[in-house]
């Protein structure tokens, strides 16, 4: 049978009453005196397979000792209606074949600690909660891709091996690059996207980015996936408007297509529904500092916002909140100085509610050659590594802006996951590089 004629579990509601064959893995099995149940997962969904004494052929029962957690099996049976599961169907088994045995699968339905599970990440990915997290992550990526495609963006992939520091010089992974000295793993694709706007106007990239920060928080990964966009002829305001439209679109589509998975994760959708409908909060940095002090936090004008401050703001508003125009001293060299307040830059971080912190960092970029060069020097970066970047300000420089979404932070918020390590298939943390 050609691959695209094979039926998957998620397609079964259109095949009520038909006899079909499914292949997958045993998620669970249960038996009573007359009836046996198998939870069969094939990647598209999970279905309950039913064996009834006296109705199902005896041979199917003989295989029962091999029907263990994560055994691979093929089942022929008839699709019938059911109260169980998300699809309202189950399978009345006729014939079962063992495809791949599974003995003593190490992850059992009992509670396991995070260290044990992370060590078995290659198997843990099969668990029900994990499957739901990655279905949601997939929907988020797809919605973002669809938004960009419909908004006339071109995908321009950026390199991972780089010489130019994009963000914080202290957080770089370095390696030897042939005879050319030190290369760094990219912290961002932004500088390369900036080059691409002059060819394509609106561009985006999506790939792994690397931060060698020694942070062991629930929000930090050493390797994370970033969705970055860059737009010619956009100022900071346009940048923020676009981000809000994009996040709202993602939320609406997750709420529409991933209801079941949100339920599996016991994610209360109320905060997501609110953010999908109501305008996001927009707060000037100075007002954010004043508000935080009123809410009992101690933060002075000029300080960067820390994770606890972001949590307080998120809880106060219960909606995503843009904090705009931070002090120049706490932000990266490429951000455009605010012409009215030279101690500030035209930027915005989007803070998620419910304690998930900054999910987007974005800004309008410095478009003027001399000013940009001066900022590079002030930041202590070697100008010779930025000669190509400065060329962008020599040949047709224009107002432009862009942003980067931390995919795992966004997924963490939407799926209601406490620690970001569960939002990426194989997390790279300070203390973990395996599997």
Tokens 């590594």 -> residue: 385
188 belongs to the binding site for ligand 4AD (CB under 6 A): yes
What is the token pair recorded at 37? 């149940």
361 belongs to the binding site for ligand 4AD (CB under 6 A): yes
361 belongs to the binding site for Mg ion (CB under 5 A): yes
What is the token pair recorded at 314? 């998120």
The residue within the footprint of ligand 4AD, chosen from 36, 121, 211, 375 (CB under 6 A), is: 211
User: Which of 130/190 has CB closer to ligand 4AD?
Assistant: 190
Residue 224, binding choice from ligand 4AD, Mg ion, none, Cβ under 5 to 8 Å by partner class: ligand 4AD
Cα angle vertex 403, ends 234, 223, to 5°? 160
Cis omega before residue 435 (within 30°)? yes
Work out how close the CB of 424 gets to ligand 4AD at its nearest, in angstroms, rounded to a whole number.
9
Tokens 């691959």 -> residue: 3
Residue 188, binding choice from ligand 4AD, Mg ion, none, Cβ under 5 to 8 Å by partner class: ligand 4AD
Q: Which stretch binds Mg ion (CB under 5 A): 112-120, 157-165, 222-230, 353-361?
A: 353-361
Question: Counting beta carbons within 10 angstroms of the beta carbon of residue 366, is it exposed (0 to 12), middle (13 to 18) or buried (19 or more)?
Answer: buried
The residue within the footprint of ligand 4AD, chosen from 406, 412, 416, 427 (CB under 6 A), is: 406
Closest to 363 in 3D by CA, of 313, 394, 406, 400: 400
Residue 39, binding choice from ligand 4AD, Mg ion, none, Cβ under 5 to 8 Å by partner class: none
220 belongs to the binding site for ligand 4AD (CB under 6 A): yes
What is the token pair recorded at 233? 């002829």
Q: Which stretch binds ligand 4AD (CB under 6 A): 60-68, 135-143, 223-231, 320-328?
A: 223-231
Residue 220, binding choice from ligand 4AD, Mg ion, none, Cβ under 5 to 8 Å by partner class: ligand 4AD
Residue 121, binding choice from Mg ion, ligand 4AD, none, Cβ under 5 to 8 Å by partner class: none
User: Which of 262/405 has CB closer to Mg ion?
Assistant: 405
362 belongs to the binding site for ligand 4AD (CB under 6 A): yes
Query: Residue 169, SS3?
Result: helix
CA atoms of 103 and 72, how far apart (whole Å) = 11
412 belongs to the binding site for ligand 4AD (CB under 6 A): no
Q: Which stretch binds ligand 4AD (CB under 6 A): 58-66, 104-112, 221-229, 241-249?
A: 221-229
Closest to 72 in 3D by CA, of 41, 100, 39: 100
CA atoms of 203 and 150, how far apart (whole Å) = 12
User: Which of 51/226 has CB closer to ligand 4AD?
Assistant: 226
The residue within the footprint of ligand 4AD, chosen from 121, 400, 409, 421 (CB under 6 A), is: 409
Instruction: Annotate 224-255 with DSSP letters as a single string.
Output: EEEEEEEEET--HHHHHHHHHHHHHHHHHHHH
Q: Which stretch binds Mg ion (CB under 5 A): 120-128, 193-201, 292-300, 356-364?
A: 356-364
Question: Dihedrals φ, ψ of 36, to 5°?
Answer: -125, 145
In the range 152-171, which residues lie near ligand 4AD by CB under 6 A? 166-167
CA atoms of 317 and 386, how far apart (whole Å) = 40
User: Which of 77/402 has CB closer to ligand 4AD?
Assistant: 402
Work out how close the CB of 192 gets to ligand 4AD at its nearest, in angstroms, rounded to a whole number.
10
User: Which of 42/358 has CB closer to ligand 4AD?
Assistant: 358
# binding residues, ligand 4AD (CB under 6 A): 22
# binding residues, Mg ion (CB under 5 A): 1
What is the token pair recorded at 383? 């100008």
Measure Cα distances from 215 to 70, 171, 211, 221 in Å.
Answer: 36, 10, 10, 8
Instruction: Give just the sign of the alpha carbon dihedral 83, 84, 89, 90.
Output: negative
What is the token pair recorded at 207? 């790939």
In the range 226-265, which residues lie near ligand 4AD by CB under 6 A? 226, 228
User: Which of 213/235 has CB closer to Mg ion?
Assistant: 213
Instruction: Annotate 117-137 with DSSP letters as a single string.
Output: HHHTHHHHTTSHHHHHHHHHH
Question: Counting beta carbons within 10 angstroms of the beta carbon of residue 239, is it exposed (0 to 12), middle (13 to 18) or buried (19 or more)?
Answer: buried
The residue within the footprint of ligand 4AD, chosen from 197, 203, 221, 272 (CB under 6 A), is: 221
Strands across the sheet with 357-364, in order? Answer: 154-155, 202-210, 223-232, 400-406, 357-364, 347-352, 321-324, 281-284
Residue 36, binding choice from Mg ion, ligand 4AD, none, Cβ under 5 to 8 Å by partner class: none
Binding site for ligand 4AD (CB under 6 A): 166-167, 188, 190, 211, 213, 220-221, 224, 226, 228, 358-362, 402-404, 406, 408-409
Binding site for Mg ion (CB under 5 A): 361
């Amino acid at each position: 049978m050609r691959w695209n004629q094979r039926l998957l579990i998620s397609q079964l509601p259109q095949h009520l009453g038909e006899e079909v064959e499914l292949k997958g893995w045993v998620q669970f099995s249960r038996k009573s005196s007359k009836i046996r149940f198998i939870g069969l997962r094939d990647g598209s969904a999970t279905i309950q397979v039913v064996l009834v004494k006296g109705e199902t052929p005896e041979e199917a029962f003989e295989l029962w000792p091999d029907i263990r957690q994560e055994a691979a099996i093929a089942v022929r049976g008839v699709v019938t209606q059911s109260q169980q599961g998300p699809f309202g169907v189950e399978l009345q088994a006729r014939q079962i074949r063992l495809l791949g045995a599974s003995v003593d699968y190490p992850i059992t339905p009992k509670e396991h600690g995070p260290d044990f599970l992370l060590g078995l990440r290659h198997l843990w990915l099969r668990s029900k909660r994990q499957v739901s997290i990655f279905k949601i992550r997939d929907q988020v990526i797809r919605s973002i891709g669809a938004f960009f495609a419909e908004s006339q963006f071109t995908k321009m992939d950026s390199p991972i091996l780089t010489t130019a520091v994009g963000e914080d010089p202290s957080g770089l992974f370095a390696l030897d690059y042939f005879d050319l000295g030190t290369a760094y793993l990219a912290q961002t694709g932004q500088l390369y996207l900036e080059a691409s706007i002059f060819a394509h106007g609106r561009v985006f990239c999506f790939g792994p980015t690397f931060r060698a920060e020694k942070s062991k928080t629930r929000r930090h990964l050493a390797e994370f996936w970033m969705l970055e966009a860059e737009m010619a002829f956009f100022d900071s305001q346009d940048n923020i408007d676009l981000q809000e439209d994009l996040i709202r679109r993602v939320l609406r589509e997750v709420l529409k297509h991933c209801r079941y998975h949100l339920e599996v994760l016991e994610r209360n959708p109320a905060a997501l529904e609110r953010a999908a409908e109501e305008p996001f909060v927009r707060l000037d940095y100075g007002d954010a500092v004043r508000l935080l002090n009123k809410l009992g936090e101690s933060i002075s004008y000029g300080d960067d916002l820390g994770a606890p401050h972001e949590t307080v703001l998120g809880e106060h508003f219960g909606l995503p909140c843009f904090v705009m125009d931070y002090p120049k001293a706490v932000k990266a060299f490429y951000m455009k100085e605010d012409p009215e307040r030279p101690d500030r830059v035209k930027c915005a971080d989007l803070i998620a509610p419910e304690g998930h912190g900054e999910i987007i960092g974005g800004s309008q970029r410095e478009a003027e050659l001399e000013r940009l060069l001066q900022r590079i020097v002030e930041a202590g970066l070697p100008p010779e590594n930025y000669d190509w970047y400065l060329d962008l300000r020599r040949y047709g420089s224009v107002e432009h802006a862009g942003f980067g979404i931390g995919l795992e932070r966004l997924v963490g918020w939407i799926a209601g996951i406490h620690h970001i390590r569960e939002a990426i298939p194989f997390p790279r943390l300070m203390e973990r590089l395996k599997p």
